[in-house]
Structure formats: structure tokens, C-alpha cells
Amino acid sequence: MSSSINKEKLEHLAKLARIEIAPGEEEKLLKDLENILEHFKELEALDTTNVPPMAGGSDLLNVFREDAKENGGRENTNRGAGVDAFPESKDGYNKVPPVFE
Amino acid sequence: MEPLHDLTIKKFHEGLLDKEFSALEVTQAYFDRIKTHDKEIGAYLSLAEESAAREASAVDVAIAEGDDVGMLAGVPLAIKDAILVKGQPATAASKMLEHYVASYDAGVIEKLKSEKTVFLGKTNMDEFAMGSSTENSAFKITHNPHDLSRVPGGSSGGSAAAVAGNMALGSLGSDTFGSIRIPASFCGVVGLKPTYGAVSRSGLIAMTSSLDQIGPITKTVEDAAILFKAIAGKDPMDATSSDADYDNILDPKLDRIKSFTIGLPEEYFIGGLDPLVSKEVEAAIEKLKSFGIKFKKVSLPHTKYAVPAYYLSMPAEVSSNLARFDDIRYGVGPGEKRPDNLMDIYFKTRGEKFGAEAKRRIILGTFVLSSGYYDAYYDKAQRVRTLVKRDFDEVFKDVDVLLTPVAPTPAFKIGEKIDDPLSMYLSDVFTGPANLAGICAVSLSTKPSSALAAGELPVGFQLIGKKWHEADILGIGQYYEKLN
């Protein structure tokens, strides 16, 4: 396993994450990420072959409900008051620049 | 009227019912103090004076009309800026949400509104709760009320400093890997990280959804229990929340507390511990021994893997949770012009408005989730999380509660660790394992603030309890305070 992040890889990751990295930031970011990954290599030595992954914090399984407002939806979380936060809106809809040009 | 530094939720409630003061008078007294003291401390990001006065007056009217009011009626609280209070800013201390005003109440705020509490304002924090010192705020530095040259801890540093600085009677913070307990320890107050699922996360701006929990920061353990009981319980808006029986949490039974065995995990009493922390935690153990509680040495062998497992799995959740912040849905400032092209909006906004730590975590998260690295990092870290949890399952067969330090050091100097993310991460070494395991833990000061010598820094110790057993740790804490 190659744990290193080089300049090219960092630029690719930043592109995937939709983050513009300023030229001055790159070097420090690269160094920090290298340090973090290097320090945490000690996990490699630990045998976890038969250990199941723990993805959530809860022991609960399969909590179902009907997808309906009366089953718990708080009002005005999205339409309504939420619209006020949109940088641009039209008729209660979020106005965004064209996705395909 | 009771001076603010002596006031607790319980004393406030009694004084209110005895008509020693009105809720409005106390709320005003807090705002007066905020105006004279918060310039140098910097606990608050925004104040809600008008709505707070309305909320307090409504309680005074209810009392004048002879209505029964609960323990929390009129209690002036400070709320971490990651928690949504309808109509108030919720910036999470990020430029990204600088102009965002919450459009709904968090589940915990709905519950507190039904108790008629008063909301003084929103408190400073590390941006999106990422940090242990509150220095990562995009807006300002918060200073420790016990020593202005030091950090208050983080990420809920504003909430802890507000309570320690007598600028709120209690507050809410959130804790992902220590973010309530570390500032509570550094500021000499009480902070509870509840069992995962005990408190709704609806309306908490998410950092790491599988670990985040909202909890109270207060002056006494009893106050923490009162506030916790009010915010706990199932919320249909958070599928991971559930109801538990906390009926007796305010009335711990002495016989039960005395029958406990407390475990001292050897991995938490290591060489690198600051001498002041060692001395204070040892003294706390001796006090509890004098009380008749038995102690036993135990081992949690995977402790040292908790921090690496966290820093390799948390960024994955961060990169997903922060993907929604792109200036498409949330407030853009007056006069601020977005680029015309969609891709430019994404790249520029996220490049300019996220702070260094947020960017570091998003990039690292994108890395650990990417093809070829997922198994080595993300999946591996989640398996290690299981091992950390199993350690606790094992020791809790033998002991009822664990006692440990909260952080390896007392409050450190502002600027001391901010340029070295790794050293900041290691502040969380004793608090994080409880989050990974989903169990509850409380930080309480070894001695009351009034007993600190001039210039002496407060030190907290941590009691870790089984899942849903907040009554155990808060019970011991309540008796510890009586001993003091």
C-alpha cells in the first residue's frame, strides 16, 4: 500500500472535492497530510482479519417509518423558511447557473 | 439578588419561585455582564437580546398568573453555533455560513422551548467543530476565563467559556471526540457527552454523524443532569435517537453509588501526563475512596489505536457532510457576487470559505474513501473501532464506571499547537474512545472554581459509564461535589 500523497494526487483529490487550493497553501497541506498518514501507520500492524467494521454509533437496526410529513417532518425545513437562505431564488425555487452549457 | 457567579439552575429556580428576582432581571444581568466581560473573553458570536427578553418576560407572566413552571423555566442558556435556533444565525464559526439564519429549531431547542428556557445567544467554536482549542473559528479567538493567554479548549470553547465566565447559567455544546469534555476541563466546569442516541442530532450541523452528540455544559453536575434530562429522548427527525429511562437521574441513591467499583485503565495513566493533571486526578481518586467507593486497575489495550482510527475514518464522514456547502443553498452576503459558471462557484467558494482544518479533513476524507485506499484506511479504521468498543464491553463486566484524566494537560497557551495539527489531535487521546464506543462520559472539575488559588488552572477528571447509564456517572459526580 502506498500511503503517500504527492503533488499530483493532491491536485486530483482537490478536484474531486471541488476545492480550489491556492498555490501558497499546497506545500503546507501536503506536509500536514504526509505527517498525519505517517503517524497513523501504526494501525497497519494490528490484525483485524475477523473483526467486523463498526460504521455507526447506534445498536439500533432497521428503524422504518412512512415517508410522510405527519410522521415527523418538521415544517419549513426546506421549502418555506429555507428558501430565504438561497442565494438566488425564483417562485420558491433555488436558482442556479446552468449545469450543462 | 444572588450574584451570577453563585447562581446554579437549582438556585435560580428557587429564587424565581420565591420572587427574589424575575427571570427578566436575571437575563438582563447576564447581558450586562456579557457587555462588560465578553470583549476580552470572546465566548459569543451573536446575541439574541430581544427574543431573550421576550422569553424571560413570558416566564415572569406565567409565574405572576400562578402557573406551574418547570426547573428550567427562564434559565438563560448559551447555545453552540452549530445548533440551530430558528431565526438566529448558525454559522458553525465558518465563513461558509456567515450569513445563514436558521430556518428551524434543532430537536434539543424544541424541547428546551417547551421548558421555557431563555436563549441568550450563540457561542464560538472551532469551524464545523473541528479542533480542540476554538482557535479554528473563522471569526475570533475565545480566551480562557481563568487565564486570558490560554485557550478555553474546543471545539465547544465558547459554550464552556460563557458558563465559566458567568455569562450564561448553562450551555449546550456538541462532542464528537471530546469537544464538550475538553473545554469543560480547561474552563473548570461540568460537561456531559451523552450515550450515542440519547439526544437528538436533528438541527446539529453535522461533522461526524456516527459520533456527534449534543450535551450540556454547566457549573454543577446536578445542573448537567437537569439539562440533560430535558434534552434527552427520541426525536422522529433523528432515526438514531431513542428513549431511555432517566427518571431517577436527579435523585441518585447513596447506597447504590457506594456499591460501585470504579476502574482505572492503565493506558490512561501514562508517562506523558502533565504533573498538575496527575496530582489533581490522584487527589480526586483519594476523595472518592474516602467515600467508600472501591477502585480496581483495568486495561483497555486498544486505547492507543483510537486516535489513528478516528483520524482515518472521521474525515470520510466530514468530506460527505461538508459536500453540501457550496454557496448554492446557503446565504451569500449582501453585495457578494457569485461567479457565473457553476464549477467556478464550487471551486472558489469551497477554496476560499473553508478554513485550513476543514480543507485538510475534506481532502483526507476524499483520499481514504478513494478506490485503492478504502480498505487500507477507512475499512481498517472501522474494524479498529470495533476493537475499541469491545475493550469497554470487557471491562464493564468487571467495573461499573471508569475514571480517567480528561486531557493530558491543563489549558495550553493560545498559538501553542495551532500550526501542528498532529499535536492538536493528541489532546483528544483520553476523550475519543468513549465516542467510538458510543458510551457516555462526563468531565468534572477536581475542585470548585472558588477553591482555585490565584493563577491556578482548573483540571477535570472524566467518569466514563456504560451505554444509557448517565445516572451512574452523574450520580457519582453529584456526591463528589457534595464532598468538596
- Catalogue the active-site residues of B: 80, 155, 179
- The answer to whether B258 and B293 have CB atoms below 8 angstroms apart is yes
- Determine the Cα–Cα distance for residues B191 and B184; give it in Å rounded to an integer: 5
Span B126-137, average pLDDT:
97
Domain that holds residue A14: 7-45
Q: Where are the beta strands (DSSP E) in B83-155?
A: 118-123
In this complex, do A13 and B366 lie within 8 Å of one another by their Cβ atoms? yes
Residue of chain B whose Cα is closest to the Cα of A70: B236
> Which CATH number fits the domain that encloses residue A16?
1.10.20
Q: Which residues of A are less than 8 Å from B386 in CB distance?
A: 51-54
Q: Which residues of A are less than 8 Å from B441 in CB distance?
A: none
- Best A6, A54, A100 member to test B by mutation, with max B CBs in 10 Å, is A54
The secondary structure of residue B449, as a DSSP letter, is: G
Count of domains forming chain A:
1
In this complex, do A1 and B384 lie within 8 Å of one another by their Cβ atoms? no
Q: Which residues of B are less than 8 Å from A20 in CB distance?
A: 347-348, 350-352
Any residues with CB less than 8 A from the CB of B253 and at least 6 apart, and which? B475
- Determine the Cα–Cα distance for residues B106 and A29; give it in Å rounded to an integer: 34
Q: Which tens digit of pLDDT belongs to each residue from A46-96?
A: 999 999 999 888 777 777 777 776 655 565 455 656 777 888 888 888 888
Domain-embedded: residue A12: yes
- Determine the Cα–Cα distance for residues B112 and B84; give it in Å rounded to an integer: 12
- Strand-strand pairing, B294-298 and B261-265: parallel
- The answer to whether B448 and B458 have CB atoms below 8 angstroms apart is no
Domain-embedded: residue A41: yes
Domain-embedded: residue A61: no
Domain-embedded: residue A62: no
**pLDDT band of B463, cuts 50, 70, 90:** very high
Q: Tell which wins on pLDDT, A94 or B61.
A: B61
CB proximity B210 to A under 8 Å:
yes
Backbone angles phi, psi at B65, to 5 degrees: -85, 5
The pLDDT of residue B361 is above 80 = yes
CB proximity A61 to B under 8 Å:
no
Nearest-by-Cβ selection for A19 from B302, B359, B376: B359
In this complex, do B347 and A18 lie within 8 Å of one another by their Cβ atoms? yes
pLDDT at residue B101, rounded to an integer: 92
Q: Which of B159, B150, B164, B78 is nearest to B117 (CA)?
A: B78
Buried (b) or exposed (e) across A45-70, using 16+ Cβ within 10 A?
ebebeebeebebbbeeeeeeeeeeee
CB proximity A53 to B under 8 Å:
yes
What is chain B's mean pLDDT, rounded?
95
Interface of A with B in 66-95 (CB under 8 A): 71-77, 80-82, 84-87, 94
Domain-embedded: residue A60: no
pLDDT at residue A3, rounded to an integer: 57
Q: Which tens digit of pLDDT belongs to each residue from B284-313?
A: 999 999 988 999 999 999 999 999 999 999
pLDDT at residue B421, rounded to an integer: 83
pLDDT at residue B118, rounded to an integer: 98
Q: Which tens digit of pLDDT belongs to each residue from B395-450?
A: 999 999 999 999 999 999 999 998 888 888 888 999 999 999 999 999 999 998 88
The pLDDT of residue B115 is above 50 = yes
ipTM given for this complex: 0.90
pLDDT at residue B1, rounded to an integer: 62
Span B62-80, average pLDDT:
97
Query: For A76-90, B1-15, B67-81, B385-399, which range has the lowest pLDDT when averaged over its residues?
Result: A76-90
Give me the residue spans of the domains in chain B.
4-257
The pLDDT of residue A39 is above 70 = yes
In this complex, do B354 and A19 lie within 8 Å of one another by their Cβ atoms? yes
Cβ pairs bridging A and B (under 8 Å): 175
Domain-embedded: residue A98: no
Domain-embedded: residue A85: no
Query: For B51-60, B125-134, B368-377, B473-482, which range has the lowest pLDDT when averaged over its residues?
Result: B368-377
Backbone angles phi, psi at B217, to 5 degrees: -125, 125
Interface of B with A in 342-371 (CB under 8 A): 342-343, 345-348, 350-352, 354, 356, 359-360, 362-364, 366-367, 370
Order of strands across the sheet that contains B401-405: B44-47, B118-123, B76-80, B170-175, B213-218, B190-193, B440-445, B460-465, B401-405, B261-265, B294-298
E strand or H helix that includes residue B297:
strand B294-298
CB proximity A21 to B under 8 Å:
yes
Domain B4-257 CATH (choose: 3.90.1300.10, 3.40.50.300, 1.10.1370.40, 3.30.1370.160)? 3.90.1300.10
Domain-embedded: residue A34: yes
CB proximity B48 to A under 8 Å:
no
CB proximity A96 to B under 8 Å:
yes
- The answer to whether B180 and B173 have CB atoms below 8 angstroms apart is yes
Q: Which tens digit of pLDDT belongs to each residue from B375-390?
A: 889 999 999 999 999 9
- To the nearest whole angstrom, how far is the Cα of B371 from the nearest Cα of chain A? 12
E strand or H helix that includes residue B215:
strand B213-218
Count of H-run helices and E-run strands, chain A: 2, 2
E strand or H helix that includes residue B80:
strand B76-80
**pLDDT band of B265, cuts 50, 70, 90:** very high
pLDDT at residue A1, rounded to an integer: 41
